[in-house]
With several copies, the nearest count.
Chain A
Amino acid sequence: MTPLNRNQIAWRAAQDIRDGMLVNLGIGIPSHAADFIPPDRDVFVQSENGIIGCGALAGKAEADSDLVDASSRRITLRPGAAIVDSVASFAMIRGGHIDVTILGAFEVAAKGDLANWDSGVPDKGPLIGGAMDLAACTGEVWVTMEHTTRSGGARLLDACTLKLTAVRCVTRVYTDLAVVEVTPEGFLVHEILPGLSREELQARTGAALRFAPDCRTLEAPPLAAA
């Protein structure tokens, strides 16, 4: 039983991106989902700084300091890309025009609350960025994260302990151990890592899990760690 690595989590989430979607990908694991979108799906990736249609990362020769995504990475544009200013970018986000946003998280509560902007590190300044807008206003909010903290603490909880990003927003969670839907009745597991028992998964989770009748094994191709 080997938990998925970060690239594999990103891969798994990417398989659920539907053809024609407009998606926003957060920093970290979510950003890698762009690399694993199945090639038969034509997807536009939006970035908060106004890029609609982010392409691959720029090679050294083509890198341009004005062509960046919201994570300050120098990128390229895909065919059909457009660029707007920040006001229009967040009008697009707040107006619900993004189909799905994939975000990293520290904690997710059983009713869908998300904590992903303040890990409680002392002294460091706050960083809200676009997370609250994306979480509060996007129709589907998917979270990719490790199922537990490094010290084994649960991240899927009855109630978040860290500062909230938005309430009742997360619709799905992709972890290294499971794919979990957030339903009005709480967490519903759709996929579980092969070799991991339901009891073991529950033991690593801070809220009651239910299991879908057709709960499957969580599988991903071998991928180098991100």
Chain B
Amino acid sequence: MPIDKRVNSTAEALHGVQDGAVVMISGFAGAGFANILIHALAELGPRDLTLVVNSATHPLSRTHELIEAGLVRKVICSAARGRGRDLSPFEKLWKEGRIELECLPQGTFSERIRAGGAGIPAFYTPVGVGTEIEMGREVRRFNGRDCVMEEAIVGDVALVRANVADRYGNLSFRYAQANFGPAMLTACKLAVVEVCEARDEPLPQTAIQMPGSFVDRVFAVGDGVGEGA
């Protein structure tokens, strides 16, 4: 049967996501949030989720909908501080002890996800040595420099935003849209992408930034609607 990874609804896109799932959510600094999928996941309502997301508080990401709906047990991120003095939805629940938090250096966050997708169970990095990151981690010296051991992160489902996909799931991104997306797609059992446009004809080889072999489902949301609030 000719491969075609395009689906026609968010229900199809998210089919099979269960309570307790580890959900990876891409997007950084306003670019690359799969907000249609995130919103649909909040409506679907699986509980006890672990979110792997760079920021738990970015105002342009709908991650907060999952948090406000009480679906999230734990967040693994590099940023969990809302803007201004008022507490963000995440910070409120975290302060109340209702969400567990693991806050990592951003390069360790991205590399652990990459390791999860690349079959590397653990690696060493000098980042975090001498800081609170060191606590509970093995420290080992290489070439005269202390490093901490970091283990891979894997997930059940990745929600990623791209620009154009083809039927094979090949992806191209606009500008800074990729960020954590490619790594997250490799690290999750189910890789779901929302795109502006999902074409029948294959993307030219030179335009592909992420091979479709890492992508399970593609959902076209039309131009721009996935971005912003």
Contacts and interface: CB of A to CB of B under 8 A. Distances in A.
B142 interface: no
Contacts of B78: 127-130
Contact of A126 (B80, B87, B106, B107): B80
A50 B119 contact: no
B6 interface: no
Contacts of B32: 66
B46 interface: no
Contact of A87 (B110, B163, B168, B213): B110
B79 A127 contact: yes
Contact of B182 (A42, A70, A85): A85
Interface string B190-229: 0000000000001101001001111000000000000110
A141 B156 CA distance: 24
A136 B127 contact: yes
A165 B107 CA distance: 13
A199 interface: no
B125 A65 contact: no
Main SS at interface, chain A? loop
A73 to B, nearest CB: 8
B13 to A, nearest CB: 18
A94 B118 contact: yes
A167 interface: yes
Interface residues of A, number: 62
Contact of B29 (A44, A71, A80, A124): A71
Give the residue among B85, B178, B212 with the most A Cβ atoms within 10 A: B178
Interface string A165-194: 111100000000000000000000000000
Interface string B152-172: 000000000001001110100
A65 B118 contact: no
A42 B29 contact: no
A44 to B, nearest CB: 6
B20 interface: no
28 contacts: A40-B1, A41-B1, A49-B31, A49-B176, A51-B175, A51-B176, A65-B227, A65-B228, A79-B168, A80-B212, A81-B202, A83-B205, A86-B28, A86-B54, A91-B118, A94-B111, A95-B119, A97-B186, A97-B214, A124-B81, A125-B103, A126-B79, A128-B104, A129-B79, A129-B106, A132-B133, A133-B106, A137-B126
